[in-house]
Structure 1
Amino acid sequence: MYVVMNQLHVPAEGRDNVAGRFANSAEKMREVEGCLDFMFLQPAEDENYPVVLTKWESKEAYHNWIHSDAFKKAHQPRKENLDSSPTQSNKIFEYEVPHHL
């Protein structure tokens, strides 16, 4: 198993917008080969760093997804959002899972 966490920096005024965008993504991720789970984690406290957590069958499955046309399409800037993205930055963390219940 392989886990990827995408930590986003989102100012308070953009939180609802980002949460809505990822709610739409969740259903689409069900169709991605090798994706076991997709979660959008909203901070419990008044923080500006939500996390997108995905679980994959393998590192290869994750890398197949990020190099796919579907990934590129999902992450391309949309004309109406070029200057209005609520996400200021992000950082990706990747983990092998040697032990799991």
Structure 2
Amino acid sequence: MTIIKINAITVPEDGGDELARRFAARAGAVDDRPGFEGFELLKPTDDRKTWLVVTRWADDDSFQAWLNSPAFGHGHRSETPKDGEPAPRPVGVSSELWSYEIAGGSLG
């Protein structure tokens, strides 16, 4: 049964473009993980400051295996600063992980 993991990330007003850039730079990094079924980065279209990272997994064990993998740590580490430049600041102010399973719907 597919499970949905949503990382709700609160981003300052000026941080959304940087969040999107960082996700684009890692595009495809999780695609080959066992049990991974898909991913979307959802940008708010109103005045909310919470972006949603929605991933779909075959089961919770697959998600947990990725979460505990070196690939996860590598993809979520801070960027290395360039010579003479300060380290990039975190984009998110806070985040919260939500977990769901599909209870109904349509493929439309």
The TM tier, using the shorter chain, reads 0.7 to 0.9
1:89 aligns with 2:94: yes
Gaps of 5+ in 2: none
Give, in angstroms, the shift of residue 100 of structure 1: 5.8
Task: Calculate the TM-score normalised by the size of structure 1.
Answer: 0.88
What pairs up with 1:1-101 in 2 under 5 angstroms? 1-80=2-81, 82=87, 84-99=89-104, 101=106
Tell me the number of residue pairs that the alignment of Structure 1 and Structure 2 aligns.
101
Structure 1 residues 9 and 19 mapped into 2: Cα distance closer, same or farther (>3 Å)?
same
Kindly provide the CA deviation profile for residues 73-94 of structure 1, in whole angstroms up to 9, marking residues without a partner as x: 1112233375511211100001
Misfit runs of 4+, over 6 Å: none
1:23–1:83: structure 2 CA closer, same or farther, 3 Å change rule? closer
User: TM-score, normalised on structure 2?
Assistant: 0.82
Amino acid across the alignment from 1:9: T
Which blocks of at least 5 consecutive residues in structure 1 are unaligned? none
Identity of aligned residues (%): 26
* CA RMSD, 1 decimal: 1.8
Decide which structure has the larger Cα Rg and report it. 2
